[in-house]
């Protein structure tokens, strides 16, 4: 049963379209607690930035483009035809120092699943690869080899042609 939960989690994280989301991300910090905690898996839908309102939780790329952040929109402004979102983590005292340009918005959080991000992060690690792929593969191979051995052993102990036995 635990294997199915882990497998299902990995499938959902790798293919969020299975549950109707466009992207999935593992939340790395508690800045959005209690709404979203560290280790939660968030499902994000691509939306037009004009459809984002104050209070929505969005995922966006930071200046280095490699890091994503999930925070709540607390203000929306326009400068030179560019939409800017002021965001803030629910657990943070102050809004984020830099506004988020519309072009950096990945999407709006549709829902989150508590703690499943830890499973996804573990599955992506070397230890997770060993625990979730290598060990089960070795166990399966060993099981098949044992079954073949047992089958060959039982074939050796039976007479080759039971009709040839004479009394």
Reported pTM: 0.74
Show the low-confidence residues of the chain (pLDDT under 50): none
pLDDT at residue number 93:
96
pLDDT at residue number 71:
98
User: Which of 24, 29, 31, 33 is labelled catalytic?
Assistant: 29
Spatial distance between the Cα atoms of 61 and 65, rounded to a whole number of angstroms: 5
Q: Are strands 41-45 and 57-61 parallel, antiparallel or unpaired?
A: unpaired
pLDDT at residue number 164:
57
pLDDT in tens, 65-82: 789 999 999 999 998 889
Q: Tell me if residue 33 is catalytic.
A: no
pLDDT at residue number 158:
64
pLDDT at residue number 124:
83
Dihedral angle over CA of 132, 138, 142, 143, nearest 10:
20
């Amino acid at each position: 049963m635990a294997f199915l939960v882990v497998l299902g989690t990995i499938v959902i994280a790798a293919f969020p379209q299975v549950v109707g989301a466009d992207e999935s991300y593992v939340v790395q910090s508690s800045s959005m607690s209690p709404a979203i905690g560290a280790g939660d898996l968030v499902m994000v839908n691509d939306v037009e930035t004009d459809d984002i309102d104050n209070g929505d939780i969005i995922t966006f790329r930071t200046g280095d483009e490699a890091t994503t952040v999930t925070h709540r929109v607390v203000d929306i402004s326009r400068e030179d035809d560019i939409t800017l979102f002021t965001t803030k983590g629910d657990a943070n005292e102050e809004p984020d120092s830099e506004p988020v340009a519309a072009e950096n918005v990945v999407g709006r959080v549709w829902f989150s699943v508590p703690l499943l991000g830890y499973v996804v992060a573990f599955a992506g690690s070397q230890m997770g690869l060993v625990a979730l792929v290598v060990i089960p593969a070795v166990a399966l191979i060993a099981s098949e080899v044992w079954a073949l051995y047992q089958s060959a052993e039982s074939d050796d102990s039976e007479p080759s042609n039971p009709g040839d036995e004479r009394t």
